[in-house]
């Protein structure tokens, strides 16, 4: 196997995929083995208490489908939006010298668009929790 790693792999043949195939084989085999062993060794006593849904020891009452404030979802979407913004900054930070001034102006425009969106969000009151 070390010989395969040391050879020149410019020619993509079936032999060059052998380490990947071995790793996939071991991963699938381990999962199958662990599922089989837990099925054999696991407890098999199915009483009525064990078959009931677990509710933290608190008796359930009322309907679980209660309306939820849209602010929670809006906050989650905003978090994802600004998290993606940070992800787009990473390639620029890695290659900022190679991008030069054109890259700088592109990133500045990108930040400007996000600042416009952030100002819009603040003016619409999306981050106010008094409601």
- The tens digit of pLDDT for each residue in 63-115 reads 777 777 777 777 788 888 888 888 888 888 888 788 888 888 998 998 898 88
Domain ranges of the chain: 2-43, 70-124
Q: What is the pLDDT of residue 13?
A: 77
Model confidence at 57, in pLDDT bands (50, 70, 90)? Answer: low
Cα distances (angstroms) measured from residue 83 to each of 8, 45, 90, 121, 128: 40, 47, 11, 16, 20
Least confident of 20-29, 101-110, 120-129: 120-129
- Give the pLDDT score at 60: 67
- First vs last C-alpha separation in the chain: 64
Cα–Cα distances (Å) from 121 to 9, 21, 116, 127, in that order, read: 52, 50, 9, 7
43-55 per-position pLDDT tens digit: 788 888 777 777 6
Q: What pLDDT, on the 0 to 100 scale, is given for residue 122?
A: 82
Find the Cα–Cα–Cα–Cα dihedral 58, 62, 65, 71, rounded to 10°: -80
Whole-number Å distance between alpha carbons of 63 and 35: 36
């Amino acid at each position: 196997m070390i010989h395969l790693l040391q050879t020149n792999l410019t020619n993509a043949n079936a032999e060059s995929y052998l380490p990947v195939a071995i790793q996939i084989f071991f991963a699938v085999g381990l999962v199958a083995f662990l599922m089989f062993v837990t099925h054999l060794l696991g407890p098999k006593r199915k009483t009525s208490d064990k078959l009931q849904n677990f509710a933290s020891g608190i008796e359930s009452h009322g309907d679980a489908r209660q309306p939820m404030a849209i602010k929670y979802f809006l906050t989650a979407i905003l978090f994802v939006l600004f998290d993606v913004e940070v992800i787009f900054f990473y390639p620029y930070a890695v290659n900022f010298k190679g991008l030069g001034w054109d890259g700088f102006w592109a990133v500045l425009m990108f930040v400007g668009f996000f600042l416009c969106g952030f100002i819009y969000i603040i003016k619409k009151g999306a981050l106010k929790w008094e409601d």
